[in-house]
Structure 1
Amino acid sequence: MNMTHLKYYITLVEQASFTKAANELLIAQPSLSMAIKKLETELELKLLDRSKRDLSLTKEGEILYEEAKKLMNHVNYVEGEMKRLKDQGPMELAIGIIESAKFWIPKILKAIKDEYPGVRIEIVEVLGLDDVHKALNNYDIHFAITNQLMSKQEVNVLPIYKENFVALLPTGHSLTKKAQLDVTDLISESFIIFKEGFQTRQDILNAFRQAGSKPNIQFEVERFETAISFVEEGLGVTLVPENYIKSFQNNRYEVRELNDHNVTRTVFLAHDTRRYLPPLVNRSIELIRGFFEGELSE
């Protein structure tokens, strides 16, 4: 396949118009139409559903777009990396993280900067499973720190540490009289949980399920920050990873440990095995794994 034709095809799909795509590519519209037809002839597949007035893809066209996009991202990344190696320009590192990683990631970044003073580091929040997949597929990040369980063959997932959940209660709540809580203590409370697609939701529901119960879900949110603000306003209770609240000094909610040993989650480091990882990235992964060495066996 001609890479230029693939580029034309990707632009056409994203612009949803031959005219707009041609303008974006700075070519004549007939040239674009001819390139798309040549691509279809080469593949012996119809990529566009020409029976519809608006630009519409066939099933084969949708698949080609997704795969061509990945290929183009990879080509662009390799070209950029080769140019960097040639020019010896500033090194770059992009890491996707979940909210609770904020308590330890600065220590790792300090270690990386000590070894690579010229590196420019970008931190990207990847909360849900779709966020992680998209960031890895689009090469927006070199690797992700995530609690999401990932089953894609091309993604290597390394467990790095476990963390416990703790209960957050509004100040003055009746359950604050207890030093520790069981999950079953929270059954009748208005519960704040995380939306579908977030592994934290499944971890919490599994904990309730193993206790033979289920939470009284009243609010669904996407971020721990939002859940905590709801608790502060007395709207309900929630469970959050203990590491997330380590750096908070706030008396507008109460924290209680849980007796249940199964209310934990595993945090992973995930990266795409199809992507070349520079020495800087591999060293960063080593530093992270070394930071938590022994955590999973405790």
Structure 2
Amino acid sequence: MNLRDLEAFKTVVECGSFSKASEELYIAQPSLSKTIQKLEKMLGYTLIDRTNRILRLTDEGKLLYEKSLVILQEMKDLELELGESRNQIKGHLKIGLPQIIGTFFFPKVAKQFKSKFPDVTLEIVEDGGLEVTKLVEKGELDVAFVVLPTKSNEIEESLIYEGHFVACLPENHRLKDANEIRLEQLKDEEWILYDLTFALRQIVLDSCRQEGFVPNIVYSTAQWDLLMSLVHEGLGVALVPNPLIKMFGKSISTKEISSQYIPWKIGVVVKKERYKTNALHALLDTVKEVYKI
């Protein structure tokens, strides 16, 4: 038995005939008759007395009609309540944010989301991209903003932004007057890199190896402002996503890299096949709205 069968039976009873009911339901009369016969066979009772032209309900038919009214009304009420719950979203979300990605991307999302869904609390977990990705895989975070790709089979990724890397050199560096540089021109330099929790570290290492050298790493840090300060003080060179240069305001020399394009792809990630609450759907939709994806 399903709701369609009950709705068909209720309509037949209220119309007083199969022909009128078939018109109201927009189905052929033979199909409607088969539906009622299937219902009778399933229940093991005759529901409609067909011995004359006037449609009459059996005692079992009367009971089913009364129960059908209750069941169908409860389903309508449930659909209404579910619709209201979607419009009045409540809940709690745990969001993974690497330091600079959080600073650069999350505030706009948070502002728009909280204005629309004030009853959802957002708990921020700050850590490196590799670490928050692992927490999403374990189900300990609902969503995270990270560098893509994650190279994880358990993660569902959505790209929201793409920039590119530039070389950051001390202001008085020997290449300060060059319009652009090849990465290999920095092979003998001392390098400042992101620490092991940053996905960007591997991007930089792979880019250097592509040009035939392994960088001489003298400092590793998880703090972006410290990285830029070290470059500013002449203690090494670094590769930094171009959109972040203006955020730190240091007196350094930045150069486009002519020998290769090194992308900086940012996205939101969730665990594959995990149930998404209405609150999580709302957050993901807000990200799409803000970044027009």
TM-score of the aligned structures, taking structure 1 as reference length: 0.60
Name the counterpart of 2:10.
none
2: CA distance, partners of 1:162 / 1:194 = 19
Structure 2 alignment gaps of length 5 or more? 1-84
Which amino acid counterpart does residue 284 of structure 1 have in structure 2?
L
Name the counterpart of 2:283.
284
Give the secondary-structure state (helix, strand or coil) at the position aligned to 1:267. Answer: strand
2: CA distance, partners of 1:246 / 1:280 = 34
2: CA distance, partners of 1:241 / 1:186 = 17
Q: Specify whether residues 100 and 163 from structure 1 end up closer, same or farther in structure 2 by C-alpha distance, changes over 3 A only.
A: farther
Give the secondary-structure state (helix, strand or coil) at the position aligned to 2:270. Answer: strand
Name the counterpart of 1:112.
113
Task: Kindly indicate whether the alpha-carbon contact (under 8 Å) linking 1:100 and 1:241 is maintained by their aligned counterparts in 2.
Answer: no
Task: Kindly indicate whether the alpha-carbon contact (under 8 Å) linking 1:112 and 1:284 is maintained by their aligned counterparts in 2.
Answer: yes
How far apart are 1:146 and its partner, in Å? 0.8
2: CA distance, partners of 1:205 / 1:89 = 44
Q: Specify whether residues 150 and 250 from structure 1 end up closer, same or farther in structure 2 by C-alpha distance, changes over 3 A only.
A: closer
Q: Specify whether residues 225 and 148 from structure 1 end up closer, same or farther in structure 2 by C-alpha distance, changes over 3 A only.
A: farther
Q: Specify whether residues 249 and 226 from structure 1 end up closer, same or farther in structure 2 by C-alpha distance, changes over 3 A only.
A: closer
Q: Specify whether residues 173 and 278 from structure 1 end up closer, same or farther in structure 2 by C-alpha distance, changes over 3 A only.
A: same
1: CA distance, partners of 2:189 / 2:152 = 37
Question: How many pairs does the alignment contain?
Answer: 206
Name the counterpart of 1:46.
none
> Which of the pair has more CA radius of gyration?
2
How far apart are 1:135 and its partner, in Å? 5.4
TM-score of the aligned structures, taking structure 2 as reference length: 0.61
Give the secondary-structure state (helix, strand or coil) at the position aligned to 1:174. Answer: coil
Spell out the pairing of 1:75-90 with structure 2 (5 A cutoff). none
Name the counterpart of 1:177.
177
Runs of 4+ in 1 over 6 A off after TM superposition: none
Superposition CA RMSD, Å:
2.7
Q: Specify whether residues 118 and 246 from structure 1 end up closer, same or farther in structure 2 by C-alpha distance, changes over 3 A only.
A: farther
Identity of aligned residues (%): 28
Name the counterpart of 1:223.
223
How far apart are 1:127 and its partner, in Å? 0.9
1:87-138 residue CA offsets vs partner (Å, 9 max, x unmatched): x996333321223322232111111012113333232223142343135525
1:194-253 residue CA offsets vs partner (Å, 9 max, x unmatched): 3345321221122222223332322223332332222122211101112333323233x2
Name the counterpart of 2:128.
127
1: CA distance, partners of 2:112 / 2:260 = 33
Which amino acid counterpart does residue 117 of structure 1 have in structure 2?
P
Give the secondary-structure state (helix, strand or coil) at the position aligned to 1:177. Answer: coil
Name the counterpart of 1:47.
none
